[in-house]
Amino acid sequence: MLTTLAWNAKVQTVAALFGSTLREVRQEHGLSQERLAEMTGVSTNFVGEMERGLKAPGLGVIVRLSLALGVSVHDLLRDFTDARVRRLRL
């Protein structure tokens, strides 16, 4: 979810930034939302909401996602650079 500011800069929410990375990594691993949900013990709806930037997961869910996807937590948070974090809408 992006918001346009008066000076036309794009600001993203924490949930949207995480969700875009989650979707990309999930698709790279050839998993459906349903399969990822089964592997992590969360609902398919929650996976979809995370990917669409509607919900942000807690740390426990991020760890379970990383284990299920075979990537590090750092990989799932790779887009949280200093520059992007400063522009996040909290």
CB neighbourhood size of 20 (10 A) = 15
User: CA angle, corner 19, sides to 89 and 85, nearest 5?
Assistant: 35
Task: Report the number of distinct structural domains present in the chain.
Answer: 1
At 12, is the pLDDT very low, low, confident or very high (cuts 50, 70, 90)? Answer: confident
Q: Which pLDDT does position 89 carry in this prediction?
A: 81
Mean pLDDT of all residues in 52-80: 97
Find where tokens 């050839």 sit: 30
Strand locations in the chain (E): 2-4, 10-12
**CATH number of 27's domain:** 1.10.260.40
Q: Coil, strand, or helix at residue 10?
A: strand
Whether the per-residue pLDDT at 10 is higher than 70: the answer is no
- Determine the structural domain holding residue 28 and report its residue range: 2-87
- Tell me, what DSSP letter sits at residue 30? T
